[in-house]
Amino acid sequence: MSKVEVTTQSNTKKIALSGHFTAMDHDQFRGILDDLQSGQGCTSCTVDLEHLDFIDSGGLGMLLLLRDACIKQKMALSLNNAKGDVLRILDIAKFDQLFKVVG
């Protein structure tokens, strides 16, 4: 299970993921999506992956749903600080073609 922390700074919503981000985390991530879709005046969203050790296909799927939600809300989205296996998986999944991957 992943630890998910959500903070808002000025107009940016920051989602920090750590540990293992898998399909099992759907409940808390759905809450984030619902919250995002309700619209709180944020113009951008960043997902910090610095402390994320593992992501499965369900996790990738949830990031894609987050992307859809951001597009719907006209929010910029970026995936930050991915490294190691997570970065490799993002690379294999060609997420750099879908997201702004930073760091």
Say how many C-beta atoms besides its own lie within 10 A of residue 31's C-beta: 12
In the region spanning residues 52 to 71, those forming contacts with other proteins, defined by CB under 8 A, are: 55-58, 60-62, 64-65
One character per residue 29-48, x = contact with other proteins (rule: CB under 8 A): -x--x---------------
Q: Which is nearer to other proteins, 6 or 33 (CB)?
A: 33
Q: Which is nearer to other proteins, 45 or 62 (CB)?
A: 62
- 9, 10, 27, 38: which one binds other proteins (CB under 8 A): 27
